[in-house]
Chains A and B, each alone.
Chain A
Amino acid sequence: MHLIIATVILMDYEELGLKIGLEIHQQLNTDEKLFCPCPCELTDKKPDYKVLRNLRPTQSELGKIDRAAFEESRRKLQFIYEAYKDETCLVELDEEPPHPLNREALKLSLIIASLLNMNVVDEFHTMRKQVIDGSNTGGFQRTGLVATAGYMDTEYGRVSIENLCLEEDAARRIGQKKGKVVFRLDRLGIPLVEITTDPSMKHPQQVKEVAYQIGQVLRSTKVKRGLGTIRQDLNISIRDGARVELKGVQDLDLMPNMVENEVKRQINLVGIMKELQSRNANVVDEIYDVGELLKDTESKIISKAILEGGSVLAIKLEGFSGLIGREVQPGRRFGTELAGYAKKMGVSGLFHTDELPAYGVTQQEVDAVSKFLKLDENDAFILVADEGEKARNALLEVLRRAKTAIKEVPEETRKATDDANSEYLRPLPTASRMYVETDIPTAKISRAYLKRIQENLPELPDEKQARIIQEYSLSEDLAHQLVRRNRAAEFEEIMGSSGLDSTTVASTMAYTLKELKRDGKAISKLTVDCLKETFNLVEEGKITKEAVQEVLVGVCDGKSSPEDAARDLNLIMLSEEEVESVIEGIISSNSEMIEERGMGAMGALMGKAMAKLKGKADGKLVNKLLRNKLQNK
């Protein structure tokens, strides 16, 4: 075991034939969905109604059902869709044909394709990609190819961007209810771009770099921000391994780790395969009922299954002993891989000989089952206890996976986990599951239109940051915050009409707004015009810089304009005469102290004056007037 880890540290990626590809899904921030006029917003409102549906895989010409589709169908899942009267319409429910393609989304995808040096297709065709896990009410996702053959330069070399597709996002999985998966329709139909690189990346760090750069490109356009609006998948293979798709890699920093762990996994699976071959391992194609042998067991899972009328079933894996417990990824064993397949059939897990006796299963029981199965010392068994058909299906899957283990590393789609590992999701979908969406006319993309788009491409975030530092003498931090928070354009617009110093404006935009948002203020009321007005008040000497935040809070809280807010909150600066009269009042009510200390009273009186005039008079003016008065007394 330790030996394996040691070799991993010294992994030579080139020697291993590591190939990595990246696939990024990014939600676009359009006003409407891709094929209907519903808003592109998620909602936490209670659904107005729910609809129950079944999906059936359709047969292809050869009577061959898509592999992934078939497995889903075997689970015979029914789906519940949460729908709304206002937020979703009949299109999401598959009760109305799709409306024509959202042109704003197409335009955005053309901008992104152009920024990635891609060749845009002449005519866009919408396709139906079969997905029968319920996440699409129609049983397919609508998608179309926008552009091909682009590239991106990185310090590790040039990476080809193979494809850019425009597609609809899937429904949001909410949970499970009585064996039925529940989806919410709010997310279904939000436009997405899918960007795929070719699998030519050869170093784990390179993937991170490419993901970062594509992210930069995306963020320079009108895309959604925040959790769940971008999803990254990795395609990883080593020469002796197989192509594995890792779904849902959230953290860019975790990407290199993710690649390393998958490489480890494949190396270890290859090791297990070779060991199995040398042992002449064999998977016995039979499922045995061993319930009788375990009827008095103390194992909670097994006794519960028996009590509820379920079965305890076993399979025999010849030559597998010791290998099921072998680690393939940090903290994950080959047994975990087998269990992943079983769990897809709805069971909670399995028992294998490499970990027994344990979990209430005694050595005597292990011996009894071993004897019953006529186990050799090199052989292993696997137990599943659950409702009869479920347990049987689970073991059928384990049999399938175990047989593959002797032959090869299987191609799989796996789900990325937070600890940079992954778990089994489903077989890699075969390519043959697309056909044309006949309900949507094709869209010609004229070269003249494309040229107009390409002549007006947005600035990339890094370029923008560098430029505004230069142009407005901003600190790097402020410029970075403005760009990151997507406030740079507003900042520039305000600076165009305001004479105020750039740092005040920038820090308001970068930090004050963030604080107000954190405090739950309705910052959507703070339009560019409103901000301009507020800064004008400062420029005209009506309020102090320090009062800006309070004025903005006032507007968020419902004051009609910044000036109203300033007045209502008593933040309007006083005229020199008014300040003078306030100071005279302070002097006359503190005459005793002045008598006593003379100019020495300055500090104390300044404090009293500022307490009274805070936010309404400039400190320097107060100081000047007070000094004059005291000196002239």
Chain B
Amino acid sequence: MSYRGASKQFLDSQNVSIGDKIRITKKDVFYEGMVLDRAEDADDEHVVLKMASGYNMGVNITDSRIELLEKGEKPEIELPPVDVERDNHKKDISIISTGGTVASIIDYKTGAVHPAFTADDLLRATPELLEHANVRGEAILNILSENMKPEYWVKTARSIADEINNGAYGVVVAHGTDTMHYTSAALSFIMDTPVPVVLTGAQRSSDRPSSDAFWNLMGSIAAAKSDVAEVTVCMHAEEDDPACYLHRGTKVRKMHTSRRDTFRSINTEPIARIQNGNLKLNKNMDYKKRDYKRREESEVVLHDDLESKVALVKSYPGISAEILDLYVDRGYRGIVIEGTGLGHCPDYLIPAVSRATDSGIPVVMASQCLYGKVNMNVYSTGRELLSAGVISALDMLPETAYVKLVWTLGQTDNNEEVKKIMQTNLKGEIESRSSKKFFLI
């Protein structure tokens, strides 16, 4: 119970707990309703009631009398297990949940929203999934995606690998959207997967009928059954239902705080478009060049050593060299600068950059423009940065460059090797050609 101070005393005086039906009498009016919990950060002068009409309201307890009308039963959420028979004609798809509510169940009695966390919950909320696959669910984490960290990437990768090695035909990872593109990039580098690994989530919470979660999940199941054996992100293609895009995990980014179609392929095009469960490969893909990796019969290979002491620093007018110095002094193993334009930072930062590279700390330059490729040959500052040993991230997204450096430093201590890996296209993260089509589509 989050009541405290005066309101807690007020409730305690009549032994009232959450869920009880009470009457609060004031000078001109009385209210009857069920006591609900109050937000932790709210004041201690109000008690929240749910009225018979369904409305909630806050009642100020000053000059009020409280009466217990009826002890509430502790709402027990005991749902019968979902009995699903395996259908041999359908593919086995695993859904791994890391948090972020792609499905939830509302308790209208109290108005509480319970995230559907277990596989059963998920299937109860979206039974339609079973029409398309034998769905197995596994909850491995329950965190908000802003709380993701490299060790969780590894944990996720290992769980995915288990599912695949246990015969999953494809794996869907339910993930909060904020950092989904970091995780998709991380999984791309960590795993060599023989089957599709599809990350998905929801921009509109799944407790609302308009949630995008359902179509994102449906699209992801279709993607997990497809031939695209890469780590991808499947989210709404437009503001409309039900179409989704399948984005390459290393070249996708959250580009809007709230829209459904927030995820965009940057410096490339989506791999496929999925509508009503039908996956259509992007016709611009050059199949002969094997623009995507096909499904194969092999084991998962994990390269899951990471170096988490890597910093991502944004350059801005007025930035101080102290910031780079701080990372060097604190023992950071790598720095990615999100530079301006073609890949620049103020020239007065160059000594600090040199100090870092001289200390054996790789410094990678990406661009905060996001679109386009880093090219440090054009202007003098860029050339000086190159001389200082800065590694160009080419057309990699800053976030992808950061994740890749975390991964690369886990693979090798050799800085020449680091540079070579960073500039070699491993998982579609580097596109050599540019195209008119790649900007703001």
Chain A interface residues (CB < 8 Å from chain B): 51-61, 63, 66, 69, 78, 90, 93-97, 119, 121-125, 127-130, 132, 137-140, 143-145, 148-149, 163, 165, 431-436, 438, 442, 444
Contacts and interface: CB of A to CB of B under 8 A. Distances in A.
Contacts of B211: 56, 58
Contacts of A66: 108
Contact of B210 (A52, A94, A165, A442): A94
Interface string B100-114: 000011111101111
Contacts of A56: 209, 211, 214
Contact of B258 (A54, A96, A435, A444): A96
A469 to B, nearest CB: 35
Interface string B44-66: 00101001111111111000000
Contacts of A123: 46, 48, 57-60
Contacts of B31: 148
Contact of B105 (A61, A93, A145, A163): A61
Given A58-B125, A123-B57, A140-B208, 11 more contacts: A58-B209, A61-B77, A63-B79, A96-B259, A124-B57, A128-B208, A148-B29, A431-B54, A434-B108, A435-B113, A436-B111
Nearest to B46: A123
B241 A52 contact: yes
Interface string B250-263: 00000001111000
Q: Which of B60, B125, B215, B257 has the most CB of A within 10 A?
A: B60
B346 interface: no
A432 B54 contact: yes
Given A121-B57, A127-B55, A54 B42 contact: no
B124 interface: yes
Given A60-B105, A138-B209, A434 B111 contact: yes
A124 B48 CA distance: 10
A130 B54 CA distance: 11
Contacts of A132: 209
A145 B258 CA distance: 28
B58 A125 contact: yes
Nearest to B64: A122
12 contacts: A54-B215, A56-B209, A56-B211, A58-B104, A59-B125, A66-B108, A95-B259, A96-B258, A121-B58, A123-B57, A125-B55, A132-B209
A149 to B, nearest CB: 5
Interface string B115-129: 000000000110000
Q: Which residue, of A66, A96, A145, A435, has the highest number of chain B Cβ atoms within 10 A?
A: A435
Contacts, number: 142
Interface of B: 28-29, 31, 42, 46, 48, 51-60, 75, 77, 79, 104-109, 111-114, 124-125, 204, 206-211, 214-215, 238-242, 257-260
A149 B238 CA distance: 47
Contacts of B239: 51, 93, 95
A55 B258 CA distance: 18
A373 B125 CA distance: 41
Given A90-B259, A96-B258, A435-B113, A60 B209 contact: no
Contact of B54 (A94, A97, A433): A433
A435 B108 contact: yes
B56 A127 contact: yes
A94 B212 CA distance: 10
Contacts of A143: 55
A119 B214 CA distance: 42
A142 to B, nearest CB: 11
B105 to A, nearest CB: 6
Given A55-B209, A55-B210, A57-B209, A444 B107 contact: no
Contact of A122 (B59, B77, B105, B106): B59
